[in-house]
Structure 1
């Protein structure tokens, strides 16, 4: 089993509805856990969204302390990642992929555990929805939506290059074009329809993560 520390409900749904079933075919069982963000006095812990690295690190160490995981990985968005996360303050110049790879390497060094496989999504899981533009257009019954999402992804040089500005992040762009978009439902549905093979081809950083996960598959 592989524990997946997820940023929120959307990421959990992506694991349960899309990644989990796809990788189960290879003998890999993904089990999502949403970040714990707060604990109210006498009440349950809050789930999803995080502002400080310490909260992420605490949940990671809690998961890694359980020896039944073959590995623990993350499904965290680069857009909005806490600014105090390892590697964020000294990101190199260059492409977004270079920057996020640097952050992942720093996360691995900070946690320093042999079963930890950090993954930070470029730039958020809605990036994957840009790759599934045609599928979202079919779901919304709006071919012009599909065409515009594909145009923007092509203009950026690929879905993973759609940038992370407050008004131009993937989710903000989709909501502007499709105000009825429901992150926790519509995104996972579109990506499921696209499928793992096509998403890996469209998103190289995502593909590199999948390669690492597939390396955990039992030998047959």
Structure 2
């Protein structure tokens, strides 16, 4: 099984070894080959996304393509929420049974918020965690902004670096903690498990 995962940036790519380690514990001999394909800031839209997916399946011989986008992709407001993002990606790609759209709401850092005690240690700050479930954190300040803020007010005296710090936050963590608090993350994981024909995480 070969799965292409279209990702927006280097943060998500830094997530790959942690994801692989987690999946190996669930899949063992059924572990697929995962290729994270970087798209420098945002997943392609419309016809371009369709071309990327079809080329990955036909020319590059992937069995499945997963697109992983943030709801907030930068200055442009393309999506209202996770459901809207997945719906639009399906429409852009068309009726392709080997394409699976997934979304981090509101951005990838939502999946890091469950490890707030580790974030506090790295930032050298005791600032309390945002209230509510991780994927519901926004109110004008996205999860990535919340993490950036604690680093900048903390005694570490530096800003949040997506690549370095995302890896450090997730190092030696149990991803099930985040999976159980983040429905969109669980859906992403379960798509991979389903493709590999093993039991899903309830």
- Fold agreement, TM-score > 0.5: yes
Task: Tell me how far apart the structure 1 counterparts of residues 139 and 4 of structure 2 sit (CA, whole Å).
Answer: 27
Q: Is structure 2 residue 151 aligned with structure 1 residue 160? A: no
TM-score, L = length of structure 1: 0.73
Provide the residue aligned with 2:155 in structure 1. none
1:185 and 2:164 are equivalent in the alignment: yes
User: Relative to 1, partners in 2 of residues 1:123 and 1:193: Cα closer, same or farther, differing over 3 Å?
Assistant: farther
2:143 to 155, 162, 170: 170
User: Offset of 1:29 from its aligned partner?
Assistant: 2.8
| 5+ long unaligned stretches in structure 2 | 153-157
Distance 1:194 1:107 in 2: 31
For this pair of structures, how many residues does the alignment match? 186
Structure 1, unaligned stretches of length 5 or more?
36-47, 92-98
3-state DSSP of counterpart to 2:180: helix
Secondary structure (helix, strand or coil) at the match of 1:49 reads coil
Name the structure 1 match of 2:117. 134
Q: Which residue of 1 aligns with 2:72?
A: 79
Deviation at 1:173, TM superposition (A): 1.9
In the alignment, the residues of structure 1 paired with residue 58 and residue 168 of structure 2 have an alpha-carbon distance, to the nearest angstrom, of: 33
CA distance in 1: counterparts of 2:67 and 2:44, whole angstroms: 15
Deviations 1:127-149 (A, max 9, x none): 11212111222334x3504xx2x
SS at match of 2:61: coil
Matched, 1:122 2:105: yes
Q: Counterpart in 2 of 1:34?
A: 38
Q: Using a 3 Å threshold, how does the CA distance of structure 1 residues 51 and 9 change in structure 2: closer, same or farther?
A: closer
Contact 2:45/2:92, CA 8 A, preserved across alignment: no
**Rounded Cα–Cα distance in structure 1 between residues aligned with 2:19 and 2:57:** 21
Equivalent position of 1:63 in the other structure: 56
How far residue 192 of structure 1 moved from its aligned partner, in angstroms, is: 3.5
**What root-mean-square deviation, in Å, do the aligned CA atoms of Structure 1 and Structure 2 show?**
2.6
TM-score by length of 2: 0.79
Could you report, residue by residue, the CA deviation over 1:63-83 in whole angstroms, capped at 9, with x for unpaired residues? 232463221102211112685
Which stretches of structure 1, 4 residues or longer, exceed 4 Å deviation after superposition? 81-85
Q: CA deviation at 1:56?
A: 3.8
> What is the CA–CA distance in structure 2 between the aligned matches of 1:173 and 1:84, rounded to whole Å?
20
